[in-house]
Amino acid sequence: MTTVDMRRAAPPLPGTARRSPAGPLLAVLWAGAAAVFALWWADTASVVGAAGWLTGAGRLSGLLCGYACAVLVGLMARVPLLENRVGSDRVSRWHAMAGRYTVCLLVAHVALILAGYAAQDRASLWHETVTVVLDYPDMLKATAGTVILFAVGVTSARAARRRVRHEFWYYVHLLTYAAVFLSFFHQVSLGEQFNGEPVATAAWYALYLGVAALVIWFRVLAPVRLNRRHRLRVDSVQQEAPGVFSVVVRGRDLDRLGARPGQFFRWRFLASGMAWTSTPYSLSAPPRPDLLRITVKALGDHSAAVALLRPGTRVWVEGPYGALTADRATSHRSLLIAAGVGITPLRALFETLPGEVTLLYRARSAADLALGGELEAIARWRGARVLYALNGPRGERPHITAESLHSNIPDLPGHDVYICGPHAFAQDVYQALRAAGLPDRRIHHESFEL
């Protein structure tokens, strides 16, 4: 087995803080929803009687649901501006929230419009449902899309996700594209706001075609181009700690990827039993022109199989993604706090962040300190500090509190703090930092707990 030294001989990279576009982007999304409401308002002359109120509310919820579907798919497109500037974790939470709004609006649309039509025709709800589904234009396709969206919503609920394999959830989730496609046509054929309104119809088509273009470009064409250009293969696999392995991947012109310390890729190893799963792993060393490295802890079937990869195995990647980079820094003093395999992105930042850097590493024991030798070497090279928080001789866990942080880190509120580790750990550390007087803008963390 070949051992590759991933340390760089270059000095730390300079970093400049950049403002996140999250606020302006949210403003644009809510402005779009307001425009949809204005479209309904302008086309609704008057509302009379119970049937009119039910039908009007059903049409408004349908329009908002159609808009939410476009937003939902746009957030799935992995647009670099969102993934790298807003942050993949925040985009994931927006996507989850948009999904809940979409399902709620869909339920409201179906219930209200059918109730309104039934009241208008003086028919039973069941008779009206059969008539709408079978006789109205494009309603069979819309019904199929509705069923798919409900299935996606059910499998995305937290209780369901805990009980299904990630691969099953992932491929069911991809059916969202089919659901939105099937549901689109009844919007323009039956929506009164689009009948005889070429401007509104053109705007609706532009919204959906624009979102479709983002998905095709960033989720299909860009990854194909990336992997054809760089031709990644496994170079070596090395054990770092019990159950923790580093995978070095070799490729061509990897400096053109634009990957930065702290970021991650979605990795698909084209080996038996692994090719159908794409998993996010952070870079555990600064990228080199010919090498990338990830460090993986065996927590499931896929991550355990990483240790068995053979040199030469083809690798398919998407990315880079993530905003846990030097761009978030607001000062020249940084504290990195890692737990377990959360050390991986922080190890890369520990080498490259500018200025004064301290690393606090939480683990059960000294044997569980993955990449510990590299961390000590980097600390000596750049004059940084490494602190360890290990369990006591009887297994007692050390508590990271505001007091302990203040005693070990002089002028703590003047630091930028990067956190990476299990969700509960990160939440506890965040609360301790806030209690220690650190402003929220100086605490940097990416979490995928939805």
Give pLDDT tens digits for 15-46: 445 667 888 999 999 999 999 999 999 888 77
Cα angle value 59/60/66 (rounded, 5°):
90
CA-nearest of 196, 203, 209, 189 to 36 is: 203
Given CATH 3.40.50.300, say whether it is the number of domain 326-445: no
Taking 90 as the threshold, does the pLDDT of residue 107 lie above it? yes
Higher pLDDT, 288 or 156: 288
- pLDDT tens, 116-141? 999 988 889 999 999 999 999 999 99
Q: Give me the pLDDT at residue 5, please.
A: 52
Q: What percentage of the chain carries pLDDT values higher than 70?
A: 95
Average pLDDT over residues 434-445: 91
- pLDDT tens, 367-383? 888 888 999 999 999 99
Residue 10 carries which DSSP code?
S
- pLDDT tens, 164-212? 777 788 888 888 999 999 999 999 888 888 887 889 999 999 999 999 9
Concatenating the DSSP letter of every residue in 52-105 gives: HHHHHHHHHHHHHHHHHHHHHHHHTS--HIIIIIIIHHHHHHHHHHHHHHHHHH
- What CATH topology corresponds to 231-321? Elongation Factor Tu (Ef-tu); domain 3 (2.40.30)
Q: Give me the pLDDT at residue 17, please.
A: 52
How far the first Cα of the chain sits from its last, in Å, is 39
- Which residues share a beta bridge with 443? 417
Q: What percentage of the chain carries pLDDT values higher than 90?
A: 60
Position 282 confidence tier, pLDDT thresholds 50, 70, 90: very high
Taking 80 as the threshold, does the pLDDT of residue 1 lie above it? no
Where do the domains of the chain lie?
A: 22-225, 231-321, 326-445
Position 281 confidence tier, pLDDT thresholds 50, 70, 90: very high
- Residue 320 preceded by cis peptide, ω within 30: yes
Compute the mean pLDDT over every residue in the chain, rounded to the nearest whole number. Answer: 88
